[in-house]
Structure 1
């Protein structure tokens, strides 16, 4: 894969080739207040995370994700209050 990544409103023209199979691997990096979040192509294989269902979360974890005070202005899209709205937006028909 050859990649270009958006970095703080500009496009990085660094060209690299990665061959790890058919999966594209990205990493999120937090570096400073000037550019709080970057999305980069990773140059190493990551690990697969186990899929977990909402019902498998502990009661404390579900309560924390449902509490709007825990995340400032961020909205947890899979919380009880927002899930249906996001599901309707994702429906293609």
Structure 2
């Protein structure tokens, strides 16, 4: 499916298409208008990013992600201080 789904409520759809055998690709977009966050149905195939483990990060990267002063009110869910709490929430009952 191509088209646009806006997080602020309105949805617009167009013709259903398949991109490289899949029709489930989404893109997040940030634009400075009345509805700043948008979820868009993609009409192009993206790139996959390699999965890296916490231990593969540089020491400087781990220190920066563990420092709460770097992100204001945001919480890094995979930092040492928050990982277990988020893992418990994700575990099925």
Q: Calculate the TM-score normalised by the size of structure 1.
A: 0.80
Larger relative contact order (Cα-Cα within 8 Å, sequence gap ≥ 6): 2
How big is the alpha-carbon RMSD for the aligned residues of Structure 1 and Structure 2? 2.2
Structure 1 residues 74 and 9: alpha-carbon distance in aligned structure 2, compared to 1, 3 A threshold: farther
Structure 1 residues 15 and 5: alpha-carbon distance in aligned structure 2, compared to 1, 3 A threshold: farther
| Alpha carbons 1:3, 1:17 under 8 Å: kept | no
2-structure distance, mates of 1:33, 1:62: 35
| Alpha carbons 1:5, 1:40 under 8 Å: kept | yes
User: Which ranges in structure 1 are unaligned for 5 or more consecutive residues?
Assistant: none
Structure 1 residues 30 and 56: alpha-carbon distance in aligned structure 2, compared to 1, 3 A threshold: same
Count of equivalent residues: 93
Query: Displacement, 1:27?
Result: 1.1
Query: Displacement, 1:52?
Result: 0.1
Counterpart secondary structure, 1:27: strand
Structure 1 residues 55 and 38: alpha-carbon distance in aligned structure 2, compared to 1, 3 A threshold: same
Q: Calculate the TM-score normalised by the size of structure 2.
A: 0.80
Instruction: After superposition, give the CA deviation of every residue in 1:27-75 in whole Å (9 maximum; x if it has no partner).
Output: 1111116333222111100001001000000011111111112222221
User: Which ranges in structure 2 are unaligned for 5 or more consecutive residues?
Assistant: none
